[in-house]
Amino acid sequence: DAGITQSPRHKVTETGTPVTLRCHQTENHRYMYWYRQDPGHGLRLIHYSYGVKDTDKGEVSDGYSVSRSKTEDFLLTLESATSSQTSVYFCAISSGTNPPGRSPLHFGNGTRLTVT
């Protein structure tokens, strides 16, 4: 398995509170991604990063921000959590120096977030 650790694995939080999810990799891969998975929608890209301090928005980025100050860590922040952000969040990395379309993606085990 690719060395990807997501923390926490489960979190329950209240509407309006800030939440930060962490993705840590030991593979020294350049490309990292945050997806959310919801029934009926599949996986949707939130944000991605092509390197330290190089990030961009995906298709469902509203309400989310990211930071990548080190190669190994990619943080996803919900500035003010809403119930619509209840989901399972997955971090992924690409196994080479290319974007994911050019080489296989490797996923972490996910963070289950519930916003009450």
Please give the residue ranges that form the binding site for other proteins (CB under 8 A): 4, 40-45, 48, 58, 90, 92, 99-110
Q: Is 14 or 42 the residue whose CB approaches other proteins more closely?
A: 42
Is the preceding omega at residue 8 within 30 degrees of 0, hence cis? yes
Q: Is 18 or 104 the residue whose CB approaches other proteins more closely?
A: 104
Q: How far apart are CA 76 and CA 48, in angstroms?
A: 10
Closest contact distance (angstroms) between CB of 15 and other proteins is: 25
Closest contact distance (angstroms) between CB of 78 and other proteins is: 20
Radius of gyration of the chain (CA): 13
Tokens of 20: 């930060």
